[in-house]
Structure 1
Amino acid sequence: MNSRRDFLQLLTTSAVALPFLPLYGSSEQLAFYDQSYEGPVLRVAIMGLGSYGTRVAEAMQTCKRAKLVGVISGTPAKIKDWQSKYNIPEKNCYNYENYDSVKDNPDIDAIYVITPNGLHHQAVLRIAAAGKHAICEKPMAINAQEGQEMVDACNKANVKLLVGYRMHFEPNTLEIIRMRNEGELGKIMFFQGLSGFKIGDPTQWRLDKELAGGGAMMDIGIYSINGARYMVGEEPIWVTAQETKTDPIKFKEGVDETIQFQLGFPSGAVASCLSTYSMNHLDRFFLNGDKGFAELQPSTGYGPIKGRTHKGELMKPHITHQTVQMDQMAGIISAGEKAVVPVDGAEGVKDLKIIDAIYEVCKTGGKKKLDL
């Protein structure tokens, strides 16, 4: 298994803003994709035509409110292939040197950045300067400072910045959030997040400190960080963490192999999480309250997501995550709709602040206060 993309083989906005994709997800979601749609369409260019870019492009073929219209790549052969496969006009094709000129192209509304983590920051700054909306894969940057600079640049340019948190639109996930919000789980006491797989090719960019910004934490671990926040429903106020490295040749300085971390929340709830590149079969969320529990396993894969609670199995419908994500993001960008769990740049910066703190306490030990 070489990457999270191999490992990881819907309904968010308010019911008023988006009546045809209901608040917490149900069979109406399936009905939406069987109906015709005549509203505005967000025209999207994808930057980075690798495996996940391809997955997003395929998923967008069934979107109602978002359409793939452009590409940005450093590989001319890939651009030609995508032009042919997705009927993309030559005028909407760019490379990494000339895509600033997208500012003069009225046929592209937004650019989805799907490149290595270390390249996100500069790309989003250039996209903002070109006056286009930005969607950026997670983690949105390699540290919180870079992330905040991206948020500031987009605010200054009056464009939206969204982060590819596809799980924020997943129906079983949203059903657990509904149950928690309505008190069905009682007082939340504990969350466990297990995120990991055994990474393969040691030469890939995910094991390159400059391109990845770290190791497992910057790839798969962010799911447990973000999941702890949206499952507990609070922002953590402290963190402790411990790093384990068994293969310093493969996992060089600054590239984490395994990190266990703990988060504390204002209510007294605690989270215990694991991020690793050295163990398979780790994709599980568990939330415990004094009146009930909820579990997702798999919790963040490409689906179907499976879950259960003290009331029984979760049976929400599955639609390709990236299809729903892009339709929902189109509504956020074009119609000002709101997500149940935010997907904006500020949300991404909060995760990066936690990651920064985790890396710090792995070196220093002790407990670090968080101010998100």
Structure 2
Amino acid sequence: METAFADYLDEFTRRDWETLDPEAVADPVRVAVVGLGWFAREWALPGIARSAYTEATVVTDVDPDAVETVAAERDVTGVTPEEFRSGAAADAYDAAYVATPNAAHLDYVRAAAAQGKAVLCEKPLEATLDRARRLVAACRDADVRLMVGYRMQTDPAVRRLRDLLRAGVAGDVVHVHATMSQTMLGELGGDTDQWRLDPELSGGCALMDLGVYPLNTTRFVLDEDPVRVSGRTRTRHEAFADVDEHASFRLAFPDGVDALCTVSQNAQHASRLEVTGTEARLISDPAFYEREDRGFAVVRDGTRVDVDFDQVHQIEEEFAYFGHQLLADEPFHPDGEHALADMRALDGIYRSAETGRSVTLDEDAA
């Protein structure tokens, strides 16, 4: 076991998915960035530029001033949403990155798919399960490739945690605890006139915006899907009157493994994932935010080992994976069907919060 532990910690930040030589890439994937909010401007565009496999060539947004500013800053083509949907810029990009509010994903993904372009869509897929299904169907019907933006899946700390679980370092997994919280109105600028607080645009707030991180990351490291969910939501602050401010939920996995998760848009900043097994605990803390260094530790028989590793630009890793898989003609792991499992779970948690009863997840249920 000690040998397996050491083996998986060597070259901690290795890209175990990479088969191409990044220095040999002459024609990176040209990406159209759809939606120019703070995340796209501060993280996605720099990540695309840092990746050897991608380059941004087109930008669009409902705010024409944002398009003009970013197009000038990045020396790319700026187009209106109408021009993007009509295909006016189709010759200038190979793939679209959709980072709009959740309820606008379907419209832009469908437009890109109709133009035969690959898509990287932010998570959650859409504001509702029905619209998410329509989004996946649009890509399937157009025979275009769809990846969903689960950046945790390309983060080395998360990949090494999954490797160690697969190697049996933790023994049999018994349970998972995860938490993610922030003071949203403070950390995201204090603006109460934003799409996350509009249930029509977001589909919800704490659960949809934050809950998807522990949900999907737990699915990824366990390589299992939950079969039953339960949860509750709470709202106290008037700014969150129409959405969920706090949420807690339980994911029941096969073989009796439970994940207990808490998320909040109005609590002290926290970000942690802990997997407890019969032989060891594996801990990522901080875990989920792109703007903080990730931590990684293994606790076994009373001894804690904190792994010191070179941090990576998490969004660079995500776009490098996206571009690499397209150029290498390899499949995406977080594809549309994978993301629909999250949408079914999120929908089930909200239904549980309304009824007070747990919900069995059925792949064919509405």
TM-score (norm 2): 0.88
Q: Which residue of 1 aligns with 2:39?
A: 52
The 5 A counterparts of 1:348-363 are 348-363=339-354
1:176 CA displacement: 0.7
Q: Which residue of 2 aligns with 1:160?
A: 145
Of 335, 356, 360 in structure 2, the residue corresponding to residue 365 of structure 1 is 356
Q: Which residue of 2 aligns with 1:207?
A: 197
The 5 A counterparts of 1:188-199 are 188-199=173-184
Q: Distance in 1 between matches of 2:10 and 2:150?
A: 16
Residue 271 (1) aligns with residue 259 (2): yes
1:121 CA displacement: 1.5
Q: Distance in 1 between matches of 2:9 and 2:135?
A: 29
Q: Which residue of 2 aligns with 1:184?
A: 169
Q: Which residue of 1 aligns with 2:336?
A: 345
Q: Give the AA of the match of 2:28.
A: V
- How big is each residue's C-alpha offset from its partner over 1:197-216, in whole Å with a ceiling of 9 and x where there is no partner? 12213222111111111111
Q: Which residue of 2 aligns with 1:330?
A: 323
Q: Distance in 2 between matches of 1:353 and 1:24?
A: 37
Using the TM superposition, name which of 170-179 and 202-211 deviates more: 202-211
1:59 CA displacement: 1.9
* Equivalent residues of 1:231, 1:287 under 8 A apart: no
1:313 CA displacement: 1.5
SS in structure 1 opposite 2:239? coil
SS in structure 2 opposite 1:162? strand
Which protein, 1 or 2, shows the higher relative CO under an 8 Å CA cutoff with sep ≥ 6?
1
Residue 294 (1) aligns with residue 287 (2): no
Q: 1:38 to 1:126 in 2, by over 3 A?
A: closer
Residue 135 (1) aligns with residue 120 (2): yes
1:190 CA displacement: 0.4
Q: Give the AA of the match of 1:182.
A: A
Q: Distance in 2 between matches of 1:204 and 1:150?
A: 24
Q: 1:95 to 1:218 in 2, by over 3 A?
A: same
* Divergent runs of 4+, >4 A: 22-25, 32-35
The 5 A counterparts of 1:207-286 are 207-247=197-237, 249-253=238-242, 255-286=243-274
Residue 304 (1) aligns with residue 290 (2): no
Long gaps (5+) in structure 2: 1-7, 186-190
1:246 CA displacement: 2.0
- How big is each residue's C-alpha offset from its partner over 1:277-332, in whole Å with a ceiling of 9 and x where there is no partner? 12112211110011111111110111421110126123333221111111110122
SS in structure 2 opposite 1:336? coil
Of 26, 46, 52 in structure 1, the residue corresponding to residue 12 of structure 2 is 26
Long gaps (5+) in structure 1: 1-21
Q: 1:114 to 1:24 in 2, by over 3 A?
A: farther
Q: 1:104 to 1:68 in 2, by over 3 A?
A: closer
Q: 1:338 to 1:198 in 2, by over 3 A?
A: same
Q: Which has the larger helix fraction?
A: 2
Q: 1:99 to 1:85 in 2, by over 3 A?
A: same
Q: 1:66 to 1:23 in 2, by over 3 A?
A: farther
SS in structure 1 opposite 2:240? coil
- How big is each residue's C-alpha offset from its partner over 1:156-201, in whole Å with a ceiling of 9 and x where there is no partner? 1111111111110111111110000111111111001101112213
Q: Which residue of 2 aligns with 1:42?
A: 29
1:126 CA displacement: 1.6
Q: Distance in 2 between matches of 1:207 and 1:35?
A: 41
Q: Give the AA of the match of 1:117.
A: N
Q: Give the AA of the match of 1:250.
A: A
Q: Output the aligned Cα RMSD.
A: 2.4
Q: 1:298 to 1:104 in 2, by over 3 A?
A: closer
Q: Distance in 2 between matches of 1:366 and 1:167?
A: 30
Q: Give the AA of the match of 2:146.
A: L
**How many aligned residue pairs are there?**
343
1:25 CA displacement: 6.2
TM-score (norm 1): 0.86
Q: Give the AA of the match of 2:356.
A: G
Q: Alignment identity in percent?
A: 26
1:34 CA displacement: 11
* Equivalent residues of 1:186, 1:292 under 8 A apart: yes
1:104 CA displacement: 6.4
Q: Give the AA of the match of 1:351.
A: D
Using the TM superposition, name which of 325-334 and 71-80 deviates more: 71-80
Q: 1:241 to 1:35 in 2, by over 3 A?
A: closer
